[in-house]
Amino acid sequence: MPFGRFSISGDRNLPNQLYFIMSVKLAILQDNEQVIADIKELVDDDKPVGYIFSEPHRVYAEKQILAESEEDRSVQVTLSPWILLTADKEILVPRQHVITIVEPLDTIKEMYSEKLNGSQSTSINK
């Protein structure tokens, strides 16, 4: 499957000058999936052609419906590997599959970092 002039299944040792470092971000994809990853922009001839997601995880957020007060409201967040059946740590994503990239909440960034480093937390107060 072509990816600009590169192949997704081909050589992943692309020249370093093609990357723009973005850091840990939350991407909203066309199918409304939310994916957190260390995201780098892939550029070819000064035009963005896609992104490289390092260690991507799908973000599931479930909001509690009933709450007595605003203090009791919380969002249940779960992170799981975005593509379960791969050993790849970096995944190329074509630009047209990404709707937007945003800065995640600090608590979500912390969860992601903890998950990659071995410990987990699963809910945040909102």
Type of residue at 102: V
User: Would you give the DSSP letter of residue 72?
Assistant: G
How much is the pLDDT for 101? Answer: 96
What percent of the chain shows pLDDT beyond 90? Answer: 55
Q: pLDDT tens digits for 108-124?
A: 999 999 999 886 544 44
Structural Rg of the chain based on CA atoms: 16
**Dmax (CA) of the chain:** 55
Token pair 């997704």 in the structure block, residue: 8
CA 29/CA 31 separation, integer angstroms: 5
| pLDDT (tens digit per residue) in 31-68 | 999 999 999 998 888 888 999 999 999 999 887 666 56
Domain spanning 16-125, CATH class: mainly beta
**Mean pLDDT, rounded, of the chain:** 80
CB neighbours of 91 closer than 8 A, spacing ≥ 6? 52, 53, 56, 82, 83
The domain ranges of the chain are 16-125
> Per-residue pLDDT for 6 more than 70?
no
**Which residues, 6+ apart, have CB-to-CB distance to 107 below 8 Å?**
124
pLDDT at 62: 85
For the question of whether the overall pTM of this predicted structure is more than 0.75, the answer is no
Using CA atoms, how far apart are residues 62 and 89, in angstroms rounded to an integer? 27
Determine the pLDDT at residue 3.
43
